[in-house]
């Protein structure tokens, strides 16, 4: 078995015991990248020279007895929204085609401090404004979308190039590609981790977090990324919990909220069955299933878009004025629409969000977590990113995929997507666990219980060159 195929903690144990060196681990990752990249195009920029230099330094430091922990010497993919000093950060847009930051984003700097090694920058839907990442193929079926906007990260992890990659989540952009690529994706509580040095889509909805092969890996990386940062006024000065030690404690006695509305509408039957199977499994492990009604459900998507669109237009207003032609038609249209939105509509959406947050808090007073499908169905074709429902309704992939993930962005609640099997066509499905504010350890605990019985956790897609 190749090193890139092994779970992160198994590789970490070998590095700590000096059975393998970080250089060997990185070379294995780079070899897998070379094998899969012509098919997937998961990366905007690859950094083999930097990776081998960082690996050599890690090998020397570990050899001197200064092992930093399980992330030391482990390869990392970084979504191309995150600044990386001396390495292009393009946001997959012509607007920033030559942008080379001088300073690392806070998250990247923290993971470097933990000893992680940069393999490359992964593609995003342009400026994270979409949920399909058109540049990139799905590792399980390259003619299908990997989801977005962190599609490159989902594809890179799903294909085995890296065990962990960073994503961002404004309307589901970590969880959507995680579900469609068969990986784990963790969106933390709003304010848990700093977004300094990460290009914004919507200031009050943006979250940063990891995609990984399993729940423990996500916990390790999220803990390393977390913490208060006075430069990001959204971060909250609360202690960073131990996200790993209780992860295997089980779910006995947990009250699992099972939605009877919203997450049941316009839903692929196989995705619905996957969520039902997950709920039944949790119940068999001692959890109690509690039916819940998602509050203000008919206003969720309208509120999400009414906040996101003007905030995105405000962030990009200089580009809109000086070089609008450098945006793709899709993103420019969205930005121009946001710029035309009335201020009163934006303010009313903010007020609605406050009401939704209060209503969800009330719902959570009777449960510990909510369990729901991550997305409405499996990956659509890249050439035809639409879903046709049995009633004849045609829905664009971005709107369809964001539908089930938006509540966690509006409320700011932590949400974890874990693999939940495959469709009859061999495409991955996912379920998500939503928790109370700053309850990442609890949703990780539930997700870990589920993944012990999943048939696609940690599996690497058999990507073949030229398979697109």
More confident residue, 156 or 390: 156
Q: Is 149 a catalytic residue?
A: yes
Pick left, alpha or beta for residue 360 (phi over 0 → left; psi -120 to 50 → alpha; otherwise beta). alpha
Strand order of the β-sheet with 184-187 is: 43-46, 117-122, 75-79, 164-169, 207-212, 184-187, 415-422, 428-434, 369-373, 255-259, 288-292
What mean pLDDT do residues 67-79 have? Answer: 98
Task: Report pLDDT for 464.
Answer: 60
Of the candidates 144, 119, 182, the one whose C-alpha atom is nearest the C-alpha of residue 467 is 144
Average pLDDT of every residue of the chain: 96
Catalytic, out of 92, 149, 212, 405? 149
Decide if 79 is catalytic. yes
pLDDT tens, position by position, 220-265: 999 999 999 999 999 999 999 999 999 999 999 999 999 999 999 9
pLDDT score of 466 more than 70: no
Is residue 45 classed exposed, middle or buried when 0-12, 13-18 and 19+ CB atoms within 10 A define those classes?
A: middle
3-state secondary structure of 419: strand
If you search the block for the tokens 């992890």, which residue do you land on?
157
CA-CA-CA-CA dihedral for 104, 105, 111, 116, to nearest 10: -50
Contact by Cβ (8 Å): 72, 58: yes
- Report percent pLDDT > 90 for the chain: 96
Mark whether 173 is an active-site residue: yes
- Mark out the alpha helices in 159-297 (DSSP H runs): 175-181, 215-225, 269-284
Q: Which residue has the tokens 């099972």?
A: 258
In this predicted structure, the answer to whether residue 104 has a pLDDT above a threshold of 90 is yes
Q: Residues 21, 28, 79, 168: which is the catalytic one?
A: 79
Report helix, strand or coil for 445. helix
Length of the chain: 468
**CB-side exposure of 204: number of CA atoms within 13 Å?**
18
Q: Distance of CA 401 to CAs 298, 386, 420, 440, Å?
A: 16, 10, 16, 23
Given 29, 105, 107, 173, which residue is catalytic?
173
Q: What is the CATH number of domain 3-298+346-453?
A: 3.90.1300.10
């Amino acid at each position: 078995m190749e090193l890139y195929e092994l779970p992160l903690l198994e590789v970490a144990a070998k590095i700590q015991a000096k059975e393998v060196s970080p250089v060997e681990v990185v070379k294995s990752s780079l070899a897998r990248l070379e094998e899969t990249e012509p098919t997937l195009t998961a990366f905007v920029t690859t950094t083999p020279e930097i990776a081998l230099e960082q690996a050599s330094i890690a090998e020397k430091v570990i050899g001197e007895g200064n092992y930093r922990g399980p992330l030391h010497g482990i390869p990392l993919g970084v979504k191309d929204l995150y600044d990386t000093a001396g390495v292009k950060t393009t946001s997959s847009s012509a607007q920033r085609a030559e942008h080379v930051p001088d300073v690392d984003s806070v998250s990247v700097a923290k993971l470097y401090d933990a000893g992680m090694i940069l393999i490359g920058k992964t593609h995003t839907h342009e400026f994270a404004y979409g949920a399909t990442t058109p540049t990139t193929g799905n590792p399980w079926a390259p003619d299908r979308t990997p989801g977005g906007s962190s599609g490159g990260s989902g594809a890179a992890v799903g294909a085995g190039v890296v065990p962990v990659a960073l994503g961002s989540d404004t309307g589901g952009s970590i969880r959507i590609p995680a579900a469609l690529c068969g990986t784990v994706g963790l969106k933390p509580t709003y304010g848990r981790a700093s977004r300094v040095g990460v290009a914004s889509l919507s200031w009050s909805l943006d979250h940063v977090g990891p995609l990984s092969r399993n729940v423990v890996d996500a916990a390790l990386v999220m803990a390393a990324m977390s913490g208060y940062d006075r430069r990001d006024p959204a971060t909250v000065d609360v202690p960073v919990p131990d996200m790993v030690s209780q992860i295997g404690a089980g779910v006995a006695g947990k009250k699992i909220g099972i939605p009877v509305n919203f997450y049941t509408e316009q839903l692929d039957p196989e995705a619905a069955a996957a969520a039902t199977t997950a709920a039944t499994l949790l119940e068999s492990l001692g959890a109690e299933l509690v039916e819940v009604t998602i509050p203000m459900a008919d206003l969720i998507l309208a509120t999400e878009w009414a906040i996101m669109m003007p905030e995105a237009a405000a962030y990009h207003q200089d580009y809109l004025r000086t070089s609008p032609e450098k945006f793709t038609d899709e993103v420019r249209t969205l930005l121009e629409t946001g710029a035309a939105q009335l201020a009163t509509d934006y303010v009313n959406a903010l007020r609605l969000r406050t009401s939704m947050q209060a209503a969800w808090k009330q719902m959570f007073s009777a449960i510990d977590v909510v369990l729901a499908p991550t997305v409405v169905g499996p990956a659509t074709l890249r050439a035809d990113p639409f879903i046709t429902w049995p009633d004849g309704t045609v829905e664009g992939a971005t709107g369809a995929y964001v539908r089930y993930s938006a509540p966690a962005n509006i409320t700011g609640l932590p949400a974890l997507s874990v693999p939940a099997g495959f469709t009859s066509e061999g495409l991955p499905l996912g379920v998500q666990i939503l928790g109370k504010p700053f309850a990442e350890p609890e949703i990780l605990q539930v997700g870990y219980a589920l993944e012990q019985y999943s048939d696609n956790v940690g599996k690497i897609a058999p990507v073949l060159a030229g398979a697109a």
